[in-house]
Structure 1
Amino acid sequence: MAVISDDDKIICRCEEVSLSTIKDIVHHFHCSSREVKLRTRAGMGYCGGRICRTIIEKVVQDINNEKVSNESQLSYRPPIRPVTFGQLGGSWNDDES
Structure 2
Amino acid sequence: MNDNETIVCRCEEVSYGQLKEAIENGACTSQELKMATRAGMGMCQGRVCRFPLETMVFEQEEGMQSAASKLTVHSPVRPLPLSMVIGKGRGE
TM-score range, shorter chain: 0.7 to 0.9
The correspondence for 2:65, drawn from 58, 64, 67, is 67
Q: Which has the higher helix share?
A: 1
Q: CA RMSD in A?
A: 2.3
- 1:27 Cα deviation from its structure 2 partner: 1.1
Is the contact made by 1:27 and 1:63 (CA closer than 8 Å) also made in structure 2? no
Structure 1 gaps of 5+ residues are: 92-97
Matches within 5 A, 1:28-39: 28-39=25-36
Matched, 1:22 2:16: no
Q: Distance in 2 between matches of 1:87 and 1:29?
A: 46
Question: TM-score w.r.t. structure 1 length?
Answer: 0.77
- 1:30 Cα deviation from its structure 2 partner: 3.9
Report the number of matched residues.
89
Matched, 1:57 2:54: yes
Question: TM-score w.r.t. structure 2 length?
Answer: 0.81
